[in-house]
Amino acid sequence: MITNKDKVAAVEKFAEQVVEVEGRSLWQDARRRFFTNKAAVISLIILIIIAALSIFGPLLSRWNYADIDWSALSDISTLGRPSIANGHYFGTDPLGRDIFVRTMQGGQISLMVGILGSFVAVIIGTLYGATSGYLGGKVDSVMMRFLEILNSFPFMFFVIILMTVFGRNILLIFVAIGAVSWLDMARIVRGQTLSLKNKEYIEAAYACGVSTPKIIIRHIVPNVLGVVIVYATLLVPNMILLESFISFLGLGVQEPMTSWGALISEGAPNMDVAVWQLAWPLGFLVVTLFCFNFLGDGLRDALDPKDR
Amino acid sequence: MFRFIVKRLLEAIPTLWALVTLSFFLMRFSPGSPFTSERGIPAAVLANLQAKYHMNEPLMNQYFHYLWDLLHGNLGYSFRFSDYTINQLIAQSFPISAEIGFWSFLVAVSLGVICGVFAALRQNSLLDYGVMTFANIGMVLPNFVIAPLCILFFSIKHHWLPAGGWNGGAWQYLIMPVIAMSTSYIAQIARITRGSMIETMHSHFIRTARAKGLPKARIVIQHALRPAMLPVVSYLGPAFVGIVTGSVVVDQFFGTGGIGQNFVNGALNRDYSLVMGVTILIGTLTILFNAIVDILYVFIDPKIRY
C-alpha cells in the first residue's frame, strides 16, 4: 500500500511537472532560432544604435542641421575638416553646415522612407495577394494579369515623373515608392495563400459562415505574416536605395532637410578635396543596408517554413 | 511552342497600350506646361505653338492623334528642342545607351555566373567567402557612388581613362560606365547563382552522375549548370530594367549623352513628347524582354510545357 501510495504521489508529481512544460508557439520558436543567429542579432543591435543616433544624435551637437558655420565657410577643405574642437565631429559640407547633424537628420528621413515605404508596400501587397489567392478562379487570373501588366512598366520612370510634376514632398515619396514596390509582395502572399486556403481551419471558418473579407483578414493574413515580415525586412534596404536614387536626381527631400542619398550625391563631387562629405553618409548608408540584409536573412531562417 | 511564342508576344500589345495611355494622361494632368517660362510669351505665339502640338484641341482628340501617330512610328516633335523630332533625339541617344547596356549586361551575366559557380563548388572556402563579401558590398553600393569613385581612381589619380564623354564609343570611354552599371548586377547574379548551384549540386541526379564516375567538369557543365540557371534567367528581366534605369546615373556622371539624360531633362522641362517617347521605348523594351525571358525559360526548363 505504501509503495503504491508513493507511486501515486510520484505520478501526480510527474503530472504536475508535465503540465508545467509549455508548448512553444511558432513565434517563440522563431525567436529562439533568431537569437542563435549571431550575424542577425548583431545587425539588429547596430540598427537600433543607428536609429537611436539618428533620433537623439542632433542633441549631442551644438549645431543645427540648417545652421551655416560662417567661420568655416571661407575654406571648407581645411577649416571644415572633422574635429572635436569646433564641434563638427564629421566636418562640414560645402555650405559650412555640420555633417554630423545632417547625417543624423538624413538618417531619420532615410530610415523613415525605408520603413514607411515598405509598410505601404506590405499592406497593399498582402491584401491584394491574399484576396487574389483566396478568391481564386476568374478573379484571381484577372488580378494576376493586372499585376503582370504593372510589372512590365518601367516604374522608376513613373516615380520620376511623379516627383517632377507634383513637387518634392516626403509623404509623396513614401507613397510613390511604396506603391511601386508591392508587386513582388503580392505575388509571394498569393502563393502562400493558395497553399493555405484548403486547410481545415479555413474550411471550418467558412462552414461557420464567416464572411470572406473576415476570413482573409483574420485567418489568412496572420498565417502569411512570417513570410511577409521577412520580405518586408528585405524591402527596407531597397526602399532606402530607391530614395537615395531619387535624391541623387535632385528630386528627393526639400532643402535644408536632407537624406543619406542627398548627402552622398552632394559629397561625391568633392571627394578628392573633402572626403568626409562623402564618407560619413555613405558609411552610415552602407552599414544600414548591410544590417538590414543580414537581419532579413536571419528572419528568413527563423520564420520561413520551407527551410524547416 | 511557336503558338506559345506568338501568344506571349500578342499579350504584350494590351500592356503597351495601357502604358501609353497611363503615361499620356499622367503627363497631361500634371501641373505646369511646356510653354511656361520666366518671360511671358505673346498670346499669338502661344496659340501658334499650341496649334503646332495640337494642344488647343480637346484632350481625347490629342490622345487619339498621338495614338495614330504612334502607330505610324512617329513620336512627334520635341517641345524643348523644337527643331528635332523625338525620333531623331532617340536615334541619337539610344545607340549609346544600348551599347553601354549591352556590355554591362554581358559583363554582369558572365562574371556573375562564373563567380557564383566557383563559390558554390568551393563552398565555405576562402574563395567562397571572398566572392560573397564582394557580392554583399557590391549589392549595397549605389551606382552613383561607384561612378565618382571610378572617376577619382581611373581619371584623377592615375590618368588612365578619360573622365567622361563618349567619342563615338571608343573603348576607353566605355570602361567606367560599364563598371558603374554592372557592379551591383554582378553581385546579385553571383549570389543567386551560388544559391541555386549549391541546391542543384545536392540533388539526386547529380549524385547519380557522380556515382557513374563522370568527371567533375562534365557534371558541372552538362548536368548542373542548366537547372541552376533557372533563377538567374528569371532575374534577368528585372536586371534589364535596372540597367536601363541605371543609365540615368551613368549619363549624369560620365556625360555619355545616353537616353537617361534625355529622360531626366525631358521630365524637368515638361517636354511631354520627349518623356512619352522615352517611356514608351523603355516600356516596349521591358515588355519585350520579359517576353523573351519567359520564352527562354521554356527552353531551359523541361518541366514547363506549353
B273 shares contact with chain A (CB less than 8 Å): no
Name the minimum distance, in Å, from the CA of B9 to any CA of chain A.
Answer: 13
pLDDT of residue A47: 92
Contact (CB<8Å) A269/B148: yes
Which of residues A167 and B250 earns the better pLDDT score? B250
Q: Minimal CA–CA distance to B58: which of B66, B49, B68?
A: B66
| Segment among A91-100, A178-187, A189-198, B46-55 with least mean pLDDT | B46-55
Q: Which run of H or of E encompasses A203? A: helix A200-207
Q: Minimal CA–CA distance to B34: which of B15, B53, B60?
A: B53
Segment A133-161 shows an average pLDDT of 79
Contact (CB<8Å) A165/B27: yes
Q: CA A219 → CA A88, A185, A206, A231, B46, distances in Å? A: 53, 18, 11, 20, 60
Contact (CB<8Å) A160/B264: yes
Residues 6+ apart with CB under 8 A from A269: B148
Is residue B13 over pLDDT 80?
A: yes
A192-240 pLDDT, tens digit each:
888 888 888 888 998 998 888 888 888 888 888 878 888 888 888 888 8
Q: Minimal CA–CA distance to A148: which of B11, B134, B268, B279?
A: B11
Across the interface, of B18, B152, B267, the residue whose CB is closest to A161 is B267
Name the minimum distance, in Å, from the CA of B19 to any CA of chain A.
Answer: 7
B19 shares contact with chain A (CB less than 8 Å): yes
pLDDT of residue B208: 92
- Residue B58 — φ and ψ, nearest 5°? -60, 155
Burial class of residue A287 in the structure, from the number of CB atoms within 10 Å of its CB (0-12 exposed, 13-18 middle, 19+ buried): middle
Please list every residue in chain A whose beta carbon sits closer than 8 Å to the beta carbon of residue B290.
Answer: 151-152
Q: How confident is the model at residue B112 (pLDDT cuts 50, 70, 90)?
A: very high
Segment A148-155 shows an average pLDDT of 73
Q: How confident is the model at residue A308 (pLDDT cuts 50, 70, 90)?
A: very low
Across the interface, of B12, B31, B245, the residue whose CB is closest to A165 is B31
Q: Which run of H or of E encompasses A212? A: helix A212-214
Name the minimum distance, in Å, from the CA of B58 to any CA of chain A.
Answer: 21
Which of A40-49, A113-122, A248-257, B133-142 reaches the highest mean pLDDT? A40-49
- Of B144, B199, B263, which to mutate for an interface test with A (greatest number of A Cβ within 10 Å)? B144
A248 shares contact with chain B (CB less than 8 Å): yes
Instruction: Determine the 3-state secondary structure of B58 from DSSP.
Output: coil
Task: Answer for the pair B163, B155: CB distance below 8 angstroms, yes or no.
Answer: yes
Q: Minimal CA–CA distance to A82: which of A232, A236, A279, A221?
A: A279
| Residues within 8 A of B (CB atoms), A 137-196 only | 148-149, 151-154, 156-158, 160-162, 164-166
Across the interface, of B142, B147, B245, the residue whose CB is closest to A244 is B142
What's the mean pLDDT when you consider all of chain B?
A: 82
Which of residues B54 and B125 earns the better pLDDT score? B125
Please list every residue in chain B whose beta carbon sits closer than 8 Å to the beta carbon of residue A286.
Answer: 137, 140-141
> Does the bond joining A305 to the residue before it have cis omega, within 30 degrees of 0?
no
- Of B145, B181, B261, which to mutate for an interface test with A (greatest number of A Cβ within 10 Å)? B145
The pTM of this model reads 0.78
Which of B2-11, B127-136, B165-174 reaches the highest mean pLDDT? B127-136
Does the interface predicted TM-score (ipTM) exceed 0.85?
no
pLDDT of residue A18: 56
| Segment among A56-60, A133-137, A301-305, B19-23 with least mean pLDDT | A301-305
Residue of A nearest to B272 (CA): A161
Written as one letter, the residue type at B153 is F
Which of A18-22, A294-298, B45-49 reaches the highest mean pLDDT? A294-298
Across the interface, of B136, B142, B244, the residue whose CB is closest to A290 is B136
Segment A147-155 shows an average pLDDT of 74
pLDDT of residue B296: 82
Torsion of CA A169, A175, A180, A184, to 10 degrees: 150
Segment B25-31 shows an average pLDDT of 74
Q: CA B100 → CA A185, B93, B166, distances in Å? A: 31, 11, 10
Segment A251-271 shows an average pLDDT of 80
Measured between alpha carbons, how far is B153 from B272 in angstroms, rounded to an integer?
A: 39
For chain B, the helix, strand and coil percentages under 3-state DSSP, each to the nearest 5: 75, 0, 20
Contact (CB<8Å) A290/B140: yes
pLDDT of residue A45: 93
Segment B227-251 shows an average pLDDT of 80
Q: Give the residues across from A92 on adjacent strands.
A: A98
Q: What is the DSSP letter of A252?
A: S
Q: How confident is the model at residue B107 (pLDDT cuts 50, 70, 90)?
A: very high
pLDDT of residue A164: 67
Is residue A53 over pLDDT 50?
A: yes
What's the mean pLDDT when you consider all of chain A?
A: 80
Task: Answer for the pair B190, B135: CB distance below 8 angstroms, yes or no.
Answer: yes
